[in-house]
A and B are shown apart, each in its own frame.
Chain A
Amino acid sequence: MIRLIRLEWIKTFSKWRTYIGFIAIGVVLPLIFIGIKLDKGRFLTSSPGYIMLEQNFHIIGNLLNGFFVSQLAMYFLMVHIPFFIALVAGDQVAGEAAAGTLRMILIRPPSRLKIFSAKAAISLIYTAMLVLCLAVLSLGLGVLLFGTGDLLVRTEGLLILTKEQVLWRFLMAYLLAILAMGVVASLALLLSVLVENAIGPIIGTMAIIIISVIISEAPISLFEGIRPFLFTTYSKVWQKAFLDPLPSNDILFSIIYLFIYMMLFLGVAFTIFNRRDILS
């Protein structure tokens, strides 16, 4: 099994598209941070909440610090990361089918379950790597450029987390983000076993995500009954890692839902993959 995963790793990382996500994060993140640095965080100090606080209170301490900009980067980039994940996970089976190598793989001794598991594992590993890349780069560069300090959480009212609390909150947020993005990878893999061209699963995954996000967030009462059944309703669970007090029940509930969705997508994907006649 490990040999299969290693083989899938080599195949995946020998493609240029695999690096697009890392390159995008590596380019966009420094751009955002340098922009904030040059702008001296005016977007924060000119926000209505900050202006009102500053009018009434002496504000002591550095709110524009590495932790704050890292949290901001998470908000910015977590919207776009599903695309990079779909680009790689959506190519796992469909890409091989399009290239005509899938039939060749399947006639070899490893079972379809093992082959699918290796592909699923690589998709999830890639997802985790992408989120961890965001974590290391944003926290590293953020602290380097802006230093450390208490974290101003983007929420209603004013919520400040102490420097001591921040690191484990970030760790939890990134782990939750990996889980949420894992569901996206599973969905892309499911669409990947359905078609024989690489572009279909990518567009399909993004289309499903966009529609689900609209239904999940639009303040339309008609959608209220549908929302609990959409995985996008729970995919922003990482944001709850910064709340105080920590909404443990909500987080646990979201983890269970996301895990069920991931298993469901992978289960359906494997069932289709296992029964499918590979003609190409």
Chain B
Amino acid sequence: MKNLFYSRLIGLSALAMLFLQGFAFQSWGDELSANDVLKNLQKTFAEIEDYTVLLQVKTDIQQIRVPQRDVKVFFKQPDKLHLQSEGFAMLPKEGMFINPNQFNREDYYMSLLGKESLKGRSAYKLELVPRNEKVRVRKLIIWIDTARWVSLKIDTVTWRGQSIEIQFDYEKFQDKYWLPIKATATVDLEGFRGFSSFRGRHGWEDESETEDSAKSGEIIVQFRDYKINEGISDSIFEEE
């Protein structure tokens, strides 16, 4: 009698373990690989064939005084980008107009660093490290929204050690496209000495003025007047 009780208990325990393991396997199966996350990002990105948007760029970086400017952006798949402005403007090269198509296994090591919550949204943290120095950045981390499959935040570090972090706010356009309406780029231009080298040609430079000083700050970009999938002539991109 006692033996029958123990054998049933063992049997039930085994069933329970198999049941729980099944759950575990189920949840493991839900987890995506770095490649899957990137593919989802690329899929969302591919939905937009072309767009134009007007950016209002406000720069607030130490020792960098650039007037507020409007920049018109033209984008066309797969990787055509053209920027137009009435005057001088500067926008971060890496991250501001991220094109997920440029990331592939041949050029980057990819690893998923887990999930994080960002401004109340769940995001995959994807790390991309270039396999060679031809790529301008040393490391790139992208926080990708787990539901909308758009990049919420991008952190880049260049080979020279300058870092740029860009956070995006999104809005839904035409009831289907999630596109940025605001980007805040935090810039750290370590080692930037400006245009003092011109000055040095005519006399001695004041050493105190030419010492490296941290030039950090923000570039705030507001996006407006999106025109999505309306078609853009290739000639616009040929100007450059």
Contacts and interface: CB of A to CB of B under 8 A. Distances in A.
A154 B198 contact: yes
A75 B63 CA distance: 22
Nearest to A219: B204
B91 A219 contact: no
B87 A61 contact: yes
B197 A63 contact: no
Given A56-B189, A217-B203, A163 B87 contact: yes
Most B CB within 10 A of own CB, among A53, A56, A153, A159: A56
Given A60-B88, A61-B88, A75 B65 contact: no
A56 B87 contact: no
Given A52-B189, A55-B136, A60 B63 contact: no
A141 B87 CA distance: 21
A154 B199 contact: yes
B90 A57 contact: yes
Contacts of A159: 64-65
Contacts of B69: 60
A225 interface: no
Contacts of A152: 88, 195
B11 interface: no
B2 interface: no
A158 B196 CA distance: 9
Contacts of A154: 195, 198-199
B89 A55 contact: no
A232 to B, nearest CB: 10
Contacts of B90: 53, 57-60
Given A55-B158, A213-B203, A219-B204, A156 B63 contact: yes
A63 B158 CA distance: 25
Nearest to B91: A58
B194 A61 contact: no
B207 interface: yes
Interface string A129-163: 00000000000000000000110111111111111
A55 B93 contact: yes
B156 to A, nearest CB: 9
Interface string B185-217: 001010111111111001110110110000100
Contacts of B215: 157
Given A60-B90, A79-B202, A160 B63 contact: no
B98 to A, nearest CB: 13
Nearest to B67: A162
Contacts of A153: 195
Given A154-B198, A156-B63, A156-B210, A58 B83 contact: yes
B114 interface: no
Contacts of A61: 85-89
B193 to A, nearest CB: 6
A154 B202 CA distance: 12
B66 interface: yes
B206 A160 contact: no
Interface string A67-80: 00000100100010
B71 interface: yes
B192 A52 contact: yes
A149 B69 CA distance: 13
A157 B203 contact: no
B66 A160 contact: yes
Contacts of A219: 204, 206-207
A158 B194 contact: yes
Contacts of A75: 198, 202
B199 A57 contact: no
A59 to B, nearest CB: 6
B89 A60 contact: yes
A75 B164 CA distance: 35
A155 B210 CA distance: 10
A63 B192 CA distance: 18
A157 B199 contact: no
Contacts of A60: 69, 71, 83-85, 88-91
B61 to A, nearest CB: 8
A150 B88 contact: yes
A32 interface: no
13 contacts: A47-B198, A48-B193, A48-B197, A52-B189, A55-B160, A56-B92, A60-B91, A61-B87, A61-B89, A156-B199, A161-B67, A217-B204, A219-B207
Given A49-B195, A156-B195, A157-B215, 4 more contacts: A56-B187, A61-B85, A156-B193, A217-B203
Interface of A: 47-50, 52-53, 55-61, 63, 72, 75, 79, 149-150, 152-163, 213, 217-219, 244
What 9 pairs across the A-B complex have the smallest Cβ distances? A157-B63, A61-B88, A157-B194, A57-B90, A150-B88, A150-B87, A60-B85, A154-B198, A158-B64
